[in-house]
């Protein structure tokens, strides 16, 4: 995915750019609305992350101005948790808002909800044998059937899809699945793997247990 981040705080912008790059996304950073206009004139983005308070104006006004010719979905970043801010942002054409400081899995979840509403984006699909996986929208297509996966299933399938044929240890899977919110046991991994196996049944995908080492996903050629 290609993101445009419009954020005037350099520290935060730097961190967000690095963090999204870790997930393999491409990010352009604009510190002002003027820079953002330049970026939008020269490149196409999948998603815009827009701060509300910028040195050369209010992000919401920018949104109201450019919404007419801008098809890219916009998520507004707000430091004020005030509802009136959010409602205002949504009224002016933002697709969603997220409050600082944000959890990147929440950002991901919000993107997913938005992309599902918009019907997905073909660019992000990963081909797994005969099946097509869209990790951002959280959908799996096979033979004309589309399955909506739940959050943990998406993340689990994503980690397998990014490492085709490799054996992944339970610890590796766990890191990806549960970021930091809960105390998780390895048994929980088995529960989710079991659930994912049922979901991908009949799509030419298999998750094998490699005794003592972890899991590996294979797909029919």
Which is nearer to another protein, 43 or 87 (by Cβ)? 87
Residue 63 contacts residue 50 (beta carbons within 8 Å): yes
Nearest distance from C-beta of residue 153 to another protein, angstroms? 8
Smaller CB distance to another protein: residue 16 or 140? 16
- For residue 122, the minimal CB distance to another protein (Å) is 22
Interacting residues toward another protein by CB under 8 A: 9, 11-12, 15-16, 18-19, 22, 79-84, 86-87, 96, 99-106, 109-110, 112-113, 150-152, 175, 179-183
Task: State the nearest-atom distance from the C-beta of 132 to another protein, in Å.
Answer: 21
3-state secondary structure of 138: coil
Measured from the CB atom, is 105 or 121 closer to another protein? 105
Specify the 3-state DSSP secondary structure of 186.
Answer: helix
40 vs 137, beta carbon nearer another protein: 137
In the 8-state DSSP scheme, what is residue 171? H
The Cα–Cα gap between 195 and 23 comes to: 24
Instruction: Provide, rounded to whole angstroms, the least separation between the CB of residue 110 and another protein.
Output: 5
Cα 220–127–148 angle (5° rounding)? 100
Would you call 220 helix, strand, or coil by DSSP?
Answer: coil
Q: Closest approach of Cβ 202 to another protein, in Å?
A: 22
CA distance 153 to 195: 8
40 or 89: whose CB is closer to another protein?
89
Distance CA 26, CA 172 (A): 24
Contact assessment for residue 162 and residue 208, using Cβ atoms and an 8 Å cutoff: no
């Amino acid at each position: 995915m290609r993101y445009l981040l419009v954020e005037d705080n350099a520290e935060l912008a730097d961190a967000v750019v690095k963090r999204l790059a870790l997930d393999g996304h491409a990010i352009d950073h604009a510190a002002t609305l003027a820079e953002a206009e330049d970026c939008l004139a020269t490149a196409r983005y999948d998603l815009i992350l827009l701060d509300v308070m910028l040195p050369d104006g209010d992000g919401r006004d920018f949104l109201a101005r450019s919404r007419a010719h801008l098809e890219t979905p916009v998520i507004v970043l707000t430091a004020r948790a005030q509802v009136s801010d959010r409602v205002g942002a949504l009224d002016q054409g933002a697709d969603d808002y997220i409050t600082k400081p944000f959890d990147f899995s929440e950002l991901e979840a919000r993107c997913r909800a938005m992309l599902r509403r918009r019907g997905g984006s073909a660019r992000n699909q990963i081909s797994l044998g005969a099946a097509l996986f869209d990790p951002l929208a959280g959908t799996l297509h096979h033979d004309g059937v589309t399955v909506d996966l739940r959050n943990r299933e998406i993340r689990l399938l994503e980690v397998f899809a990014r490492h085709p044929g490799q054996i992944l240890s339970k610890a590796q899977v766990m890191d990806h699945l549960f970021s930091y919110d809960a105390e998780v046991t390895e048994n929980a991994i088995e529960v989710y793997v079991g659930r994912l196996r049922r979901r991908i049944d009949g799509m030419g995908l298999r998750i094998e247990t490699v005794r003592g080492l972890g899991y590996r996903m294979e797909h029919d050629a």
